[in-house]
Structure 1
Amino acid sequence: MPNILKRIWRLTWLAASGPQAWIGLVLFGTVFALIFVELWVDVQMIAWTGRFYDAVEQMDVTGAVHELGVFAVIVGALAGINLTQSYLRDWLRFRWRARLTHKTLDAWLGGQAYWHLRPGLSPDAIDNPDQRVAEDCNRYVELLLQETLDLIGRIVGLVTYIAILWSLSDFVLRFSLLGVDVAVPRYMVWLAFVYVLVASFITHGLGYPLKSIFFRQERREADFRHALVQLRDNATEVAQSGGEEAERRRLSQRFEAIRQNWFRLIGREFILGIFTRPYWQTILRVPLFFALPAYFAGSVTFGGLMQLSSTFSRVTTSLSWFIFSYRDLAEFAAVAHRLDDLFRMTDGPEPMPAAPCAIQRAPSGDGALHVRGLRLATPDGRWLDAVPDRTVRRGDRVWLAGDSGQGKTTLLAAVSGLWRYGEGRIETPKGRMMVLPQRPHLFSDGLRAAACYPADPDSIADDRLRDVLDRLGLSHRLGALDADGEASLEGLSLGERQRLALARVLLHRPDWVVLDEATSSLDAASEAHLLAILRRDLPDAAILCVAHREPTALEPTHIWRIGAASLEQRKSA
């Protein structure tokens, strides 16, 4: 319990703090004040109950009709208060959700945690971060406001209702138990606490496994959605390889995991409901039964009986917050656990325990890239071949040669600052570096956004963008520039995607360009043409090119051979 409360406090502070936090506090304070107003009106309803039923018992038609008018006013006031509360609470809910979502995105994107916390790169890899950001933030704030405001209202109301119940139950219950005369003054007050306390223990005993089941259910639902997204993103490859059966099998396995946990969830909810459902159905009726001894003893009138029953039911309902909210509290604890884990793991992602993290990094003193004594390792601790020392200066064009699997891409990740497993020293120069992978990722915002990434498309002149795309052989795609969404990207071949990625280099003109087989899907003539454009347009930029064949159009000034096999080939050459 202390750990759960600490998680809730940390997350609530993140949601409620920040710029213009006072607006959220004013909204919360207004909703809080309306709780007191609602309580005052509800007290009037309790008083009305006594007056109305006394009028009925005395056959006072005029008094009863008058009380019906009072009843309409009270109901209208309660409805207005509830609607205002609901509106303000939904407004506050979105403000706090937005704040918590922004903080979650900051944590996930800051320090490149989204890269380091992938499976296989960290012992604390985060599953389904998209769900935690998109859904858990929303659900957390919803449950936070729902349960806290409900709890505050119950506590405030409980004090008032107990005071009223105390004043109404000014009589003594007398009975014999095993030959002993027992007298219980104000027994209705004590009975309310005993009744709810026993019920709370039973509820917790039946429902405590729900938190872990909710946690697993959220994870398995997210796994299923992720598999569907993967199918959408790789639709062409799946269709061309006839992979429908494999995809169906994969999706069915994930859905089966949902089904199995779902039946555990509803089974546990059924067990809990065996007690809570009858409790909920009877809590408004049982108070009347408990008050009947006082009525039969002549201690209260019929109106007093109904007033006493109504007040007792309000006391027990307030005390039963834990029972009625148990399912939501279990889900709330699970959501808080998932979100708090994300913040904890992104605050300095832990490296894999078996891999060395001894790469020294320092700024370059002469504006060049220096790699000295570098030896990289895999996350499971396996050492790769030593990387030959190298200095790369502005304007150099370097071909990184070597067999597949020798660590060329890993070396580029280490140079860019991502890869941390290994030993040695890397001195990095100032200036902007842009890395183009073999399969560039395109975003669903459209062709213009894909070409300008990571810049805002509005920051790049339309004429300049069109000129670059035309020079790179994408003139036939210019008509789709003004189209929105994925439709403008439909049908792009991998070669066209690579041309589009090269457009980013020409538009942003970085100081360091890294091409990781970024032209592998182009024919030799097209590759030579595009690399020549890069060489001419960026004469002062350093270009590091990973390719299986020598990029002669770059006119490389150095060859950086990676891996033992390549070293042997160099010696024999």
Structure 2
Amino acid sequence: MSSSIPSLHALVSHYCSPSPLRFLPNLDRLRSPVADEARENPDIPTLFRRFWKVAAPYWSSEDKTQARLRLDQEQFTKQLLYYLGAFAGGIPVFVLRDYSKDTLSLRWRSWMTSYYMRRYFKNQTFYKIQSQSIIDNPDQRIVDDLSSFTSTALGFALTFFNAAIDLISFSNILYGIYPPLFIVLLVYSIGGTAISVYLGKDLVNLNFMQEKKEADFRYGLVRIRENAESIAFYAGEENEMQLLLRRFSRAFENLSKLLISSRNLDFFTSGYRYLIQILPAAVVAPMYFSGKIEFGVINQSVSAFNHILTDFSLIVYQFQAISAFSAVIDRLGEFDDLLDGTHSSDLLEPENSLEIDFLNRNIGDPSFDQSNGSIPLDERHRLLEIKNMTLQTPRTGRTLIANLNLEINNKDHLLVMGPSGSGKTSLLRALAGLWRSGSGNITFFTRDNGQSQLPVSPDTPPPGLLNEAEENERIENLRPYMVLGTLREQLLYPTWSEDSPATLQSTPSSDILPSSMQLENLQDTSGDLKRPTDDDLLRVLQDVRLGDIVSRFKGLDTTYDWSCVLSLGEQQRLAFARLLLSRPRLILLDESTSALDEPNEAHLYRHIEAAGITYVSIGHRRTLFNFHSKVLYISKSESVDPSYRNWTIEPINQTSDYGQAKASS
């Protein structure tokens, strides 16, 4: 017992020791409270400095060195090499994967653009869509929707593929740890997907309408650019701004609804994502406490659970992107159905339509009628024949011309006159194949190629007849069309494709564009017609009194917005220059000299007549009688009698009323 009790000598030595350290606790208790209150809180730099002062000594001590030496240096080096190898091999794989995806998307888009554009221009579908207003913004569908479709489709394909691989890999892990947890996760994801579809059911239509309204707003801005001069003359800036703001407000209102629907879906998606995060740990933890699994299995189950949740919930997490993609698919599908002829409107093709045929005809064939005109029979060559044609408007079916019979022979120039709205321009549309509403037959007689040809459909002319049919007829209207390109392209359009050195240098190489889009594969519609030289182009510009245009715009290969930099009269003269270069056998002129003075009008008509071109003109000027051999006068049709005839054809000679008007002019 005495061994457990300190000796008296030890106690005395402890408390009577002269060392001052044993009195420090007592001294601390005797400190003034005022000193504690006056103490300032250390600032952040001071805390960092003190932390380093306290912690640093260990890291320069021998004990730290020994701990470092005890690590497995060989294993560390091996793991480091594994990481560096995976890093070096992974970067090229990921970069090349993304590059391959983007390249494939670009080539897919290029092919689809060519595919849709060929169908868009086939059989004048682009004109029918525009004139009948069947669908909105086909240009936006070709440009934006095709680009979005290809890139998004490939992105989703890779995402679903990665999700499938990930699901297969981690499902086995989670199912092996605790099968009921896997079943719960499957049911949870299916229910979440169903709720997401229900909550986001309006997103597809809202995205569809947003595409339309944004495209409408952009189209309004394009029209401002194209009609800037007319708007400026009218001083219509305020009205145009109001119209544009009205279109923008529609897009804004629709986008507001879209954002509200997206917000509501985000509430559910966020709750769905985080509500179940605690489930795997809560389910597996009791198994750890009972000793059935190790602690690492908990982390393993949580990781596998989150991977599978992401894979199963792909539709939930990507629903907004999927709904936007669905709108793109809907717009492209509607466009595709229209091009295939399976759309509900089916381009509003009439039940009864005009038949247009192309027929080969020998120049020496004597079977000509002598019903109209004053040109001797031996100088004639039949170009056009109309039999029992009744022309109606495509949408309303209103009759414009009833039971028209007409023949046009070589040098048999026809002037079409009548009050506004009587159907003069509609007649030219029918002759050009743009309008088919009505009944009757229109036959074009093409040049003889030594073979006998039966009448064929204009949609599919036989080989050898297509270029002749195109060469046989040409139409020019009040405002000529100016293409996007050089002055040379304006003159060569549409008979020859432009292949100037400047264009060839800017043409993408064949290893970039797919074969369907390479420019060398584009067909030239000139047939055997010799391509004009630069001297030919300069001479024809002189013939139409536009000789100064080359010096004004510094050559034939400069590019401008020609519809803006040229006056309407200059554009009309440029259109006549095209005719003198291509020399079609028959042309349709819809007030094509309305912006010219009478001397220039006479000059151009004499040139095309001297070139051997037969023309059908629409106009109101009395001076036009001087350049035509007969006149077709169309009055407004007000009778419902199918046998009623609202037109007359008379020769223009010295004894006729038109001849007297010709003499007076």
TM bucket (normalised to shorter chain) is 0.7 to 0.9
Q: Which residue does 1:86 correspond to in 2? A: 98
Indicate whether 1:404 and 2:478 are aligned.
no
SS at match of 1:316: helix
List gaps (5 residues or longer) in structure 2. 1-69, 362-381, 447-467, 500-530, 638-645, 651-655, 659-665
- For this pair of structures, how many residues does the alignment match? 494
Shift of 1:395: 2.6
- Displacement of 1:461: 2.1
1:272-312 per-position Cα deviation (integer Å, ceiling 9, x unaligned): 11121344467777644554343344333333322222122
Once residues 389 and 535 of structure 1 are traced to their aligned partners in structure 2, the CA distance between those partners, rounded to angstroms, is 25
Residue 135 of structure 2: aligned partner: 126
Distance in 2 separating the partners of 1:217 and 1:277: 25
State the alpha-carbon separation in 2 of the partners of residues 310 and 88 from structure 1.
Answer: 30
Query: Alpha carbons of 1:534 and 1:568: their partners in 2 closer, same or farther (altered >3 Å)?
Result: closer
| 1:311 and 2:383 correspond | no
Matched AA of 1:390: L
Residue 352 of structure 2 corresponds to which residue in structure 1?
357
Provide the C-alpha distance between the structure 2 equivalents of 1:65 and 1:203, rounded to a whole number of angstroms.
49
SS at match of 1:225: helix
| Residues in 1 aligned to 2:197 and 2:588: alpha-carbon distance in whole angstroms | 59
Separation of aligned partners in 1, 2:622 and 2:403: 19
**Is 1:452 paired with 2:467?**
no
Note if 1:202 corresponds to 2:195: yes
Aligned: 1:142 with 2:151: yes
The answer to whether residue 509 in structure 2 is matched with residue 437 in structure 1 is: no
1:176-226, Cα deviation, whole Å (9 max, x unpaired): xxxxxxxxx533322321232222122112112110000000000110111
Q: Aligned-pair RMSD on alpha carbons?
A: 2.8
Name 2:662's counterpart in structure 1: none
Distance 1:336 1:200 in 2: 21
Give the CA deviation at 1:489: 5.6
1:105 matched residue in structure 2: 117
Which residues in structure 2 correspond to 1:66-77 (within 5 Å)? 70=82, 73-74=85-86, 77=89
Larger deviation, residues 348-357 vs 418-427: 348-357
**Which of these residues, 201, 222, 234, is aligned with residue 229 of structure 1?**
222
Deviation at 1:236, TM superposition (A): 0.4
Are 2:618 and 1:546 equivalent residues in the alignment? yes
Distance 1:303 1:273 in 2: 34
Higher mean C-alpha displacement, 326-335 vs 454-463: 454-463
Looking at structure 2, the residues matched to 316 and 158 of structure 1 have their Cα atoms a distance apart, in angstroms, of 9
Q: CA distance change for structure 1 residues 362 and 448 in 2, over 3 Å: closer, same or farther?
A: closer
Q: Hey, which of these two has a bigger chunk of helix by percent? A: 1
Q: Which residue of 2 aligns with 1:95?
A: 107
Taking the TM superposition and a 5 Å limit, the aligned residue runs for 1:431-510 are 431=468, 432=471, 433-454=473-494, 455-458=496-499, 460-479=532-551, 480=553, 481-482=555-556, 484-486=558-560, 490-510=564-584
Check 1:469–1:296 CA distance in 2 against 1; reply closer, same or farther (3 A cut).
Answer: farther
Asked whether the 8 Å contact 1:287–1:309 carries over to 2, the reply is: yes
CA shift at 1:142, angstroms?
1.0
CA distance in 2, matches of 1:334, 1:365: 49
C-alpha deviations, 1:220-262, integer Å up to 9, x for none?
0110111111111100000011010111011011100100000
The percentage of aligned residue pairs carrying the same residue is: 29
Per mean C-alpha deviation after superposition, the further-off stretch among 266-275 and 318-327 is 318-327
Please state how far the C-alpha of 1:355 moved relative to its aligned partner: 5.8
Aligned position for 1:522 = 596
Residues 456 and 214 from structure 1, CA distance in 2 versus in 1: closer, same or farther, beyond 3 angstroms? same
Change (3 A) 1:476 1:299: farther
| Structure 1 CA distance for aligned equivalents of residues 79 and 407 of structure 2 | 93
Deviation for aligned residue 1:328: 1.6
Q: Deviations over 1:438-497 (max 9, x none)?
A: 011212323322222123233542221121112211122113244543356643111011
Partner of 1:219: 212
Query: How far apart are the structure 1 equivalents of 2:200 and 2:413?
Result: 66
Q: Is the 8 A contact 1:387 1:563 kept in 2?
A: no
Q: Which moved more, 1:429-438 or 1:549-558?
A: 549-558
Relative to structure 1, the CA distance from residue 320 to residue 89 in structure 2 (aligned partners, 3 Å threshold; closer, same or farther) is same
1:515 deviation in Å? 0.8
Alignment match, 1:559: 631
Q: Which residue of 284, 287, 294 maps to 1:294?
A: 287
CA distance in 2 between counterparts of 1:186 and 1:457 reads 70
Between structure 1 and structure 2, the one with the greater Rg is 2
Secondary structure at the residue paired with 1:413?
helix
Shift of 1:393: 1.6
Instruction: Out of 130-139 and 149-158, give the one that drifted further.
Output: 149-158
Partner of 2:608: 534
> Corresponding residue for 2:165?
156
SS at match of 1:559: strand
Amino acid at match of 1:314: H
Q: Which amino acid in the other structure matches residue 597 of structure 2?
A: D
2:400 maps to a residue whose letter is: L
Letter in 2 for 1:110: K
SS at match of 2:293: coil
CA distance in 1: counterparts of 2:615 and 2:104, whole angstroms:
51
Offset, 1:547: 1.2
Deviations 1:489-515 (A, max 9, x none): 643111011011111111111121111
Tell me the secondary structure at the aligned position of residue 130 of structure 2: coil
Instruction: String of CA shifts for 1:505-529, please: whole Å, max 9, x gaps.
Output: 1111112111111111001111001
CA contact (8 A) 1:399 1:550 kept: no
1:150-174 Cα deviation digits (max 9, x unpaired): 112212321222123233x0xxxxx
Kept in 2, the 8 Å contact 1:216–1:261? The answer is: yes
Aligned equivalent of 1:189: 182
Which is worse superposed, 429-438 or 76-85? 76-85
State the shift of 1:101 in Å. 0.9
Aligned to 1:254: 247
Aligned partner of residue 457 in structure 1, secondary structure: coil
Partner of 1:36: none
Q: Write out per-residue CA displacement over residues 61-88 of structure 1, whole angstroms, 9 at most, x where no aligned residue.
A: 8778865765565566554432221110
Gaps of 5+ in 1: 1-58, 170-184
CA drift at 1:535: 0.9
Taking structure 1 as the reference length, what is the TM-score of the superposition?
0.79
**2-structure distance, mates of 1:155, 1:271:** 29
8 Å contact 1:386–1:563 — kept in the other structure? no
* CA distance, structure 1, for counterparts of residue 649 and residue 533 of structure 2: 48
Tell me the distance in 1 between the aligned counterparts of 2:599 and 2:232.
Answer: 30
Q: Which moved more, 1:480-489 or 1:312-321?
A: 480-489
What SS class does the counterpart of residue 434 from structure 2 fall into?
coil
Secondary structure of the residue aligned to 2:565 is: coil
Q: Which residue is equivalent to 2:388?
A: 373
Please state whether the residue corresponding to 1:358 is helix, strand or coil.
coil
Which residue number corresponds to residue 43 of structure 1?
A: none
Q: 424-433 or 66-75: which moved more? A: 66-75
CA distance in 1, matches of 2:197, 2:84: 39
Superposed CA offset, 1:392-411 (max 9, x none)? 12332111122221111111
Residues 206, 272 of structure 1: 8 Å contact kept: yes
Instruction: Tell me if structure 2 keeps the 8 A contact 1:531–1:553.
Output: no
Q: What is the identity, as a one-letter code, of the residue corresponding to 2:96?
A: T
TM-aligned CA distance change 1:116 to 1:569, over 3 Å:
closer
Normalising to structure 2: TM-score of the pair? 0.69
Instruction: Evaluate the alpha carbon distance shift between residue 392 and residue 187 of structure 1 in structure 2; reply closer, same or farther with a 3 A threshold.
Output: same
Pair 391,96 (structure 1): closer, same or farther in 2 beyond 3 Å: same
CA distance in 2, matches of 1:80, 1:281: 35
1:416 to 432, 435, 443: 432
Higher relative contact order (CA 8 A, sep 6+): 1
Distance 1:440 1:302 in 2: 82
Counterpart in the other structure of 1:394: 410
| 1:269 and 2:262 matched | yes
Give me the whole-angstrom Cα distance separating, in 1, the residues matched to 2:238 and 2:616: 41
